[in-house]
């Protein structure tokens, strides 16, 4: 399949697009999002309808269609806002549905930005082949930006030969005069640990007079952090701080903090995390920053700092469900059941939408600590308050039942988990349940009922279960012979 370039020069508007849009959506690994506050307010009610549909197998299209049937309107910028939100929370399948609905049912014109985002979503949901097939259908006037998106997908897939071929074409056609091309390629070489080629691209940029922008220098920060090079980190940060065109917001320090922590460079990670704290007040979306801070303090094992940030934040800010979830998830690392209970009770008293993902954390903690009665009571309480248990709820309970040797109850919970389209039940729980079912000679009856009750998506899971059972039997037989 050939990928042809279109001979179109990049004007000032296109350059703006590269820097402000492509840079953030296709290169940055930070939590930054391109947002429009007015559009966010206008689409708030529609997004609130879509937001609770966390299961990717449950389509959001009926919600969108119902919104229109009720006489509501929606414009392209509002739908872009929703796509952006869904992408941020890694709900790529739903974001792709909104993208397709936007053009196929509302007939909004697709521009370069929309095509590029569509390609990224197709990659996340279906993989590279679908991206390439879609690319060949894109109109010629949109192909310049689409090539950047295609390059990004090749990088995400670690497809070095295809990425390098696209990059060379960009050089030959005169497109590679913008830092974003080099940034994406540097991201590839950074992933592969090929620092020599990263340095080569930076040298090429300097020779051609292509500016080293925020994203270029952020990659250098990644490289220094990976190499446990504090002097290098300070040097790059100094360069960034001296460049008035580069905004050093909390995201930059967050990236470095996370990378330093991953390689065990805890002192430098703490220094960067304190920078994040100092800059958190400058962002309108403080909950993104606090979620990151809570996560890293938990990973560092700093429980006191975790509670300090939590108490400071909730005194001056409205605490959203996602922040409660992060705090509870962080406390899970310390097995702090009492602390989780207090946070949960506080959340429940706020009367926010009853998102079962929050009690799931506490149900999990109870099950891990053999407090099944509490887990079951919390399940019933959530249902009485209008909550809808999801697959993870039943998976946690199945694990708890296994720990208490209540295998028949575990089988029942596992059955509910699979029937709610959960694709990956815990292997240990599954093995124990399968062994129990085999003793009862009830495997086919159990899986047959799943096919009858669960529909096509559950049938696929059932087939995987049968394959798993057969493989386990084969492995056991071969081990017994050896």
Residue 264 is encoded by which pair of tokens? 């065990």
Residue whose tokens read 């708030």? 44
At 106 the pLDDT is: 78
Chain CA centroid to CA 365, Å: 24
Residue 238 is encoded by which pair of tokens? 């100094």
- At 45, the pLDDT band (50, 70, 90 cuts) reads confident
At 25 the pLDDT is: 45
Going by C-alpha positions, the residue among 55, 103, 59 that lies closest to residue 80 is: 103
- At 148, the pLDDT band (50, 70, 90 cuts) reads very high
- At 35, the pLDDT band (50, 70, 90 cuts) reads very low
Q: What pLDDT digit, counting tens, does each position of 247-258 carry? A: 788 988 888 888
Which carries the bigger pLDDT value, residue 462 or residue 152?
A: 152
- At 168, the pLDDT band (50, 70, 90 cuts) reads very high
Alpha carbon distance 289, 269 (integer Å): 15
Domain ranges of the chain: 287-389, 409-482
Residue 242 is encoded by which pair of tokens? 């001296």
pLDDT at 473 exceeding the cut of 80: no
Query: What is the C-alpha radius of gyration for the chain, rounded to an integer number of angstroms?
Result: 25
Alpha carbon distance 149, 106 (integer Å): 24
pTM value is: 0.60
At 51 the pLDDT is: 86
Eight-state DSSP code of residue 138: S
Which carries the bigger pLDDT value, residue 366 or residue 395?
A: 366
pLDDT at 38 exceeding the cut of 80: no
At 475 the pLDDT is: 53
Environment class of 331 (CB within 10 Å of its CB; exposed 0-12, middle 13-18, buried 19+): buried
Eight-state DSSP code of residue 178: S
Going by C-alpha positions, the residue among 312, 319, 376, 315 that lies closest to residue 352 is: 319
- At 427, the pLDDT band (50, 70, 90 cuts) reads low
At 18 the pLDDT is: 45
Alpha carbon distance 80, 61 (integer Å): 15
pLDDT at 424 exceeding the cut of 80: no
pLDDT at 97 exceeding the cut of 80: yes
At 421 the pLDDT is: 54
């Amino acid at each position: 399949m050939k990928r042809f370039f279109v001979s179109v020069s990049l004007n000032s508007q296109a350059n703006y697009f590269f820097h402000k849009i492509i840079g953030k959506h296709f290169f940055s690994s930070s939590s930054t999002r391109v947002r429009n506050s007015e559009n966010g307010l206008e689409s708030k009610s529609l997004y609130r309808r879509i937001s609770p549909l966390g299961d990717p197998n449950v389509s959001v299209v009926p919600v969108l269609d119902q919104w229109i049937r009720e006489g509501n309107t929606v414009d392209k910028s509002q739908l872009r806002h929703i796509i952006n939100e869904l992408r941020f929370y890694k709900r790529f399948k739903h974001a792709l549905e909104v993208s397709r609905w936007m053009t196929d049912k509302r007939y909004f014109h697709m521009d370069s930005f929309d095509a590029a985002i569509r390609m990224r979503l197709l990659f996340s949901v279906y993989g590279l082949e679908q991206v390439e097939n879609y690319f060949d259908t894109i109109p010629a006037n949109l192909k310049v930006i689409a090539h950047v998106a295609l390059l990004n997908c090749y990088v995400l897939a670690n497809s070095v030969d295809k990425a390098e071929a696209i990059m060379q074409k960009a050089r030959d056609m005169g497109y590679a005069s913008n830092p974003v091309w080099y940034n994406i390629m540097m991201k590839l070489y950074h992933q592969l640990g090929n620092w020599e080629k990263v340095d080569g691209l930076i040298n090429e940029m300097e020779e051609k007079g292509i500016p080293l922008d925020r994203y270029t220098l952020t990659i250098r920060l990644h490289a220094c952090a990976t190499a446990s090079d504090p002097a290098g980190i300070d040097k790059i940060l100094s360069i960034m701080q001296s460049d008035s065109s580069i905004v050093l917001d909390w995201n930059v320090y967050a990236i470095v903090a996370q990378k330093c922590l991953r390689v065990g460079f805890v002192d430098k990670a703490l220094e960067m995390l304190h920078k994040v704290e100092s800059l958190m007040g400058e962002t309108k979306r403080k909950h993104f920053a606090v979620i990151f801070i809570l996560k890293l303090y938990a990973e560092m094992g700093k429980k006191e700092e975790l509670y300090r940030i939590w108490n400071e934040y909730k005194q001056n800010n409205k605490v959203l469900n996602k922040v409660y979830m992060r705090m509870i998830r962080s406390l899970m690392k310390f097995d702090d059941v009492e602390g989780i209970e207090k946070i949960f009770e506080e959340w429940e008293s706020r009367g926010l939408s009853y998102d079962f993902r929050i009690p799931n954390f506490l149900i999990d903690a109870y099950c891990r600590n053999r407090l099944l009665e509490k887990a079951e009571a919390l399940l019933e309480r959530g249902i009485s308050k209008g909550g809808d248990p999801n697959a993870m709820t039943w998976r946690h309970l199945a694990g708890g039942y296994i720990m208490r040797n209540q295998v028949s109850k575990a089988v029942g919970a596992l059955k509910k988990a699979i029937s709610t389209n959960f694709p990956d039940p815990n292997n240990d729980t599954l093995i124990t349940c399968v062994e129990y079912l085999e003793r009862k000679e009830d495997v086919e009856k159990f899986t047959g009922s799943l096919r009858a009750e669960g529909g096509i998506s559950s049938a696929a899971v059932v087939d995987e279960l049968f394959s798993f059972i057969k493989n386990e039997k084969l492995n056991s037989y071969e081990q017994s012979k050896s």
